[in-house]
Amino acid sequence: MLGSKPNKTPIVLRDKKRMFEGSPVNKERYQQLIGKLIYLSHTRSDIAFAVSLVNQYMHDPCQGHVNAVYRILRYLKQKPGKKPFLQKKKKTEIKVEVFTDADWAGSIDDRKSTTGYRTIVWGNVVTWQSKKQTVVARSSVEA
């Protein structure tokens, strides 16, 4: 991947159907790559959703899934030294922010929605999660 061109985003959501194209690939190699990305996503919240998406296909990967993993790796190449950065704020600037969002029937396989959130304290991301919902939402409000 050293000679590859970096990407600006870890995944392109409008290309979800392309993830299912291609022939089967080496499952063990795919699982090794995903395991390393899962470990890395603990400190890089910007790849958490993309890693959770490709993680769903660890038992039956195809070439489209491998291409999605390579896109994440090219995204990481853009800023290889990026680390979690904690800032010290003045006591007058104490602020807690929570952002959350959900898509509606975003999974092509089972039409389940994905929910995510991020908590920011004093300008520092302290918690984040992206998770597929357990039931199928019947509307965007329910998602």
CA atoms within 13 A on the CB side of 22: 16
| 139 in a structural domain | no
Q: Indicate whether this model's pTM tops 0.95.
A: no
Structure letter (DSSP) for residue 20? G
pLDDT tens digit at each of 143 positions of the chain: 778 888 888 888 776 667 778 888 999 999 999 999 999 888 887 888 889 888 888 899 999 899 999 999 999 988 777 666 666 666 666 788 999 888 888 777 788 888 888 888 877 788 888 888 888 887 777 76
Helix or strand run (H / E) with residue 128: strand 124-132
> Residue 141 falls within a domain, yes or no?
no
Q: Tell me how far apart the alpha carbons of residues 36 and 24 are, in angstroms, rounded to a whole number.
A: 21
Q: In this structure, what token pair is assigned to residue 68? A: 């999605």
Q: Is residue 140 part of a domain?
A: no
Statement to judge: residues 18 and 69 lie in one domain: yes
Whether residues 43 and 17 fall in one domain = yes
Residue 62, both tokens: 């195809």
Residue owning tokens 């050293």? 2
